[in-house]
Amino acid sequence: MKSRLIASLLLATAAPAAAQTSITTLAPPVVADPRVAALRDNALHNDQYAWDIVEGLTTEVGQRLVATEAEARARDWAVRKLTAMGFSNVHVEPFEMPVWTRGFESAEIVSPFPQKLVVAALGYSGSTGPEGVTGEIVYFDSVDALRAAPDSAVKGKIVFIDHHMMPAQDGSGYGQFGAPRRQGPTIASLKGALGIVIRSIGTDHHRNPHTGVQYFTDGAKPIPAGALTVPDAEQLVRILKRGQPVVMHLTLASQKSEGGHSGNVVAEIPGRDPKAPILLVGGHLDSWDQGTGAIDDGAGVAITTAAAKHIMDAGRPLRTIRVVWFGAEEPGGFGGAALAKAHASDRYAIAGESDFGADRIWRFSSQLLKSDPAAYAQLTAVLAPLGITKNDKGEADGTDVDPTIQAGAPWISLNQDGTRYFDWHHTPDDTLDKIDPEQLRQNVAAWTAVLATLSGGIEPEPKRRSRR
Amino acid sequence: MKSRLIASLLLATAAPAAAQTSITTLAPPVVADPRVAALRDNALHNDQYAWDIVEGLTTEVGQRLVATEAEARARDWAVRKLTAMGFSNVHVEPFEMPVWTRGFESAEIVSPFPQKLVVAALGYSGSTGPEGVTGEIVYFDSVDALRAAPDSAVKGKIVFIDHHMMPAQDGSGYGQFGAPRRQGPTIASLKGALGIVIRSIGTDHHRNPHTGVQYFTDGAKPIPAGALTVPDAEQLVRILKRGQPVVMHLTLASQKSEGGHSGNVVAEIPGRDPKAPILLVGGHLDSWDQGTGAIDDGAGVAITTAAAKHIMDAGRPLRTIRVVWFGAEEPGGFGGAALAKAHASDRYAIAGESDFGADRIWRFSSQLLKSDPAAYAQLTAVLAPLGITKNDKGEADGTDVDPTIQAGAPWISLNQDGTRYFDWHHTPDDTLDKIDPEQLRQNVAAWTAVLATLSGGIEPEPKRRSRR
């Protein structure tokens, strides 16, 4: 670039009045704050906090299904951990919600080719009871094909929705291709189906089914609803292609009850100015029950908490940093709604979350582009050395912070590379070994840079807090 | 290479008496028989037989656990298929053996961190009964560490053998690293252990356990013996590293009974000379019960049968080609032993099998190197365009043909690339999607070339057999 720069300078000198754009006529350069860059690089090279959290949580608690005793143990673990790390005002903000748990599960082809397929109930599936149900399979290649079918084609049968989903860096596809899971069970139920199985919403080829939430709406009565693994769905398609009626015995003996408990775990680094708008970051503590919730979302709470801890280690920020380990995200953001309601009078300078695994952050976007262009330019400069590009067309995302953003908080999104994410998402394979420690540190470095940039300034404290 | 060749020729002309080796003083060139090369290339580009077999067998039968009704259905399927393809003398050669089947399985950490791990019983595991057993975990990093331990360290506990296994192209490692599975249960039992779990003998990081055979020998009484998945074994190591006693509740409710039936399915292309030594090829029909036995070993029967079919399509070989879909390989080669015994008076020109998946064949070796160097040279020449190198130091391998080779048959080994093989071996993930059709065709081309080269000559028949 050096020779081009010199050429430009010479050109600018030689023809100062030319209409063409030259480097010297662009906006003034934005250079990253060297103190922020130093914090970023320390996190990038040395962070151990995030690994320590996600390794500890997934090992010492494991899966954390919402409203179960496992999620309660996770809250206890979180309070101990955050307190030991030196956070202030560590507490649980509880709320109630239903409990749904998985029971015995089996999907057996009875005829024409007897064999067992691997299935997992979708969240809030109806139960077959332990004896299961038996019905003929009726095939649809999309949720719209099911919607278009006459009731008579579906009634008393087990619906199978096939579909395709390819890996995408930005995770696009989950919205569209998640429809069979979100809408399929209700549509099938309203048409009188005995049950439904879908091809897992996933991009892998392992015998691990992808669960996930669905609700029966529009007056639909709950029916058994499960996800076959991708290889099993492909097997079912091959069996169906032989042209004979295919009969399945499906058992999804799940259970649901009211009156469960969940809650958000909240921790803070108190700012020097208690009245300054708050920086809100976090991830969700609950997980599905098949894996240990490492990428979804042990990593998210680990990354954002580690970033806050790096600020704490450097001193005291002007603004309060609030870290939230949200409860009950998987069933649809109960924790996020509870937080927004409980803190409706709080003012925020930013709200953001990490909930897309632990692979490298590749771009970011923020409302600050319009509301605070100088801060946005600073973020652009300090994130670029991590390989993170700005995305001026980005939008807010994140189930947990969404209600707070809807209530007026400015948003920031740091987008992880999602190419591998839907290989493991909501499966037994969501385990610690899927996290690459080097990419995890890049995540921590990015969030550290964001918090430092927006902190209002960090002042060294005369006496340091206890560290762990 | 052209310039080096010319230089060599010039050098040879200029200094004919020089002691140095030059291209012109090497052995006469061996050129592949063009008729064999044509058959090879037709299989490489056009083969559909192998996919048709492995797709059909894994779809229409699925898993084929030895001595169960599923293996019996597979034999029926095989007889129908081989007959439809035009093979002669298609028949089953039955034998008896015990039946072992999997029951409910669970490995639950009771304390200090309650959570479920994913486990599968090893073949011929003892049963815990449906109620399971509970015991403290005692850790060993190898089977030798277990062997060296005093009985008092093991008695009444659940042994856990950790170990490592890395992918290797030639599959080396399975012998050494399979020891925890093969020997661990017997050693643990003799020392008074309540049960044993091992880290799966596998190279993947998915929640799919690798089963496989083991036997209780030396008077050891059967105890429950299971394999944890690799991520679960790593989780258990992390839990153990916390230093507290770890208690597991293990349920492996498997069942064993005598008087099961297995058998070999035999098919032939009768040679023009019924007295000429036979070409024996095949794979095994039985599989473990978790996957559909696509790579182990639906692919093997598909590849060798497809190759024989390409010879049949070309005409009638001088030598009889015998294709065997062996039964009961997984429990230790019962089918291979039965075949060698039943055909003790038959004479063979070659014996070889395919039982290492369906990835590209990268080298071959054969006893013909010494017993028939001209044939070995022909094989070297005709396999080279497939990227297959000769391995003059190779040895016979293959559980099914081993007894026949031990009885005097010359051997040939075509080695598949095993880099991915132990990711899926003996797991639920052994399914059709793991087979790459292009690499499968390369396998068929190689075996077609071998059979054509050793056939004694193929003569077109006036009237073609029915094809399917």
Residues 6+ positions from B439 with CB-CB distance below 8 Å? B358, B359, B360
Q: Which residues of B touch A70 (CB under 8 A)?
A: 114-115
CB contact under 8 A, A118 and B429: no
Amino acid sitting at position A95: F
pLDDT in tens, A22-72: 666 667 789 999 999 999 999 999 999 999 999 999 999 999 999 999 999
Q: What is the pLDDT of residue B461?
A: 81
Whether the CB-CB separation of A458 and A317 falls below 8 Å is answered with yes
Q: Which residues of B touch A206 (CB under 8 A)?
A: 206, 208, 429
Q: Which residues of A touch B242 (CB under 8 A)?
A: 59-60
Q: Does A292 touch chain B (CB under 8 A)?
A: yes
Quickly state the pLDDT bin for A458 (edges 50, 70, 90): very high
Measure in Å the smallest separation between the Cα of B427 and chain A Cα atoms. 9
CB contact under 8 A, A206 and B429: yes
Three-class SS of chain A: CHHHHHHHHHHHHHCCCCCCCCHHHCCCCCCCCHHHHHHHHHHHHHCCHHHHHHHHHHHHCCCCCCCCHHHHHHHHHHHHHHHHCCCEEEEEEEEEEEEEECCCEEEEEEECCCEEECEEECECCCCCCCCCEEEEEEEECCHHHHHHCCHHHHCCCEEEECCCCCCCCCCCCHHHHCHHHHCHHHHHHHCCCCEEEEECCCCCCCCCCCCCECCCCCCCCCCCEEEECHHHHHHHHHHHHCCCCCEEEEEECCEEEEEEEEEEEEEEECCCCCCCCEEEEEEECCCCCCCCCHHHHHHHHHHHHHHHHHHHHHCEECCCEEEEEECCCCCCCHHHHHHHHHCCCCCEEEEEECCCCCCCEEEEEECHHHHCHHHHHHHHHHHHHHCCEECCCCCCCCCCCHHHHHCCCCEEEEEECCCCHHHHCCCCCCCHHHCCHHHHHHHHHHHHHHHHHHCCCEECCCCCCCCC
Residue A143: which of A200, A187, A194 has the closest Cα? A187
Walking along chain B (468 residues) 10 residues at a time, the average pLDDT comes out as: 40 44 70 96 98 98 98 98 98 97 97 98 97 98 97 98 93 89 97 98 97 97 98 98 98 95 98 98 98 98 98 98 98 97 98 98 98 97 97 95 98 98 98 98 98 97 59
CB contact under 8 A, B59 and A113: yes
Nearest CA in chain A to B239: A59
CB contact under 8 A, B231 and A432: yes
**ipTM, 2 dp:** 0.91
Q: Does A372 touch chain B (CB under 8 A)?
A: no
CB contact under 8 A, A231 and B431: yes
Catalytic residue among B71, B93, B268, B329: B329
Q: Which residues of B touch A108 (CB under 8 A)?
A: none
Q: Which residues of A touch B431 (CB under 8 A)?
A: 205, 207, 231, 235
Q: Does A190 touch chain B (CB under 8 A)?
A: no
pLDDT in tens, A60-107: 999 999 999 999 999 999 999 999 999 999 999 999 999 999 999 999
Q: Which residues of A touch B231 (CB under 8 A)?
A: 429, 431-433
Residue B59: which of A135, A121, A429, A244 has the closest Cα? A244
Most A-contacting residue of B60, B115, B289 (CB-CB within 10 A), to test interface: B115
Measured distance CA(B152)–CA(B138) in Å, rounded: 11
Instruction: List C-alpha distances in Å: A239 to A135, A234, A353, B72.
Output: 15, 9, 43, 20
CB contact under 8 A, A208 and B205: no
Lowest mean pLDDT among A2-16, A329-343, B114-128, B210-224: A2-16
Measure in Å the smallest separation between the Cα of A324 and chain B Cα atoms. 24
Measure in Å the smallest separation between the Cα of B253 and chain A Cα atoms. 15
Least CB–CB distance from A208: residue in B59, B206, B434: B206
CB contact under 8 A, B61 and A113: yes
CB contact under 8 A, A59 and B239: yes
Q: Does B60 touch chain A (CB under 8 A)?
A: yes
CB contact under 8 A, B59 and A235: yes
Q: Does B243 touch chain A (CB under 8 A)?
A: no
pTM of the model: 0.92
Q: What is the pLDDT of residue B29?
A: 82
Nearest CA in chain A to B241: A59
Measured distance CA(A325)–CA(A322) in Å, rounded: 10
CB contact under 8 A, B234 and A433: yes
Q: Does B435 touch chain A (CB under 8 A)?
A: no
Burial class (CB in 10 A: 0-12, 13-18, 19+), A150: exposed
Q: What are the residue numbers of the active site of A?
A: 329
Most A-contacting residue of B51, B59, B63 (CB-CB within 10 A), to test interface: B59
Determine if the peptide bond prior to B296 is cis (ω within 30°): no
Measure in Å the smallest separation between the Cα of A203 and chain B Cα atoms. 13
Measured distance CA(B247)–CA(B158) in Å, rounded: 9
Q: In what order do the strands lie in the sheet with A88-101?
A: A88-101, A255-269, A321-326, A278-284, A348-353
CB contact under 8 A, A238 and B434: no
Chain A, chain B: beta-carbon pairs less than 8 Å apart: 94
Nearest CA in chain B to A427: B207
Least CB–CB distance from B231: residue in A231, A234, A431: A431
Least CB–CB distance from A60: residue in B63, B113, B207: B113
Quickly state the pLDDT bin for A5 (edges 50, 70, 90): very low
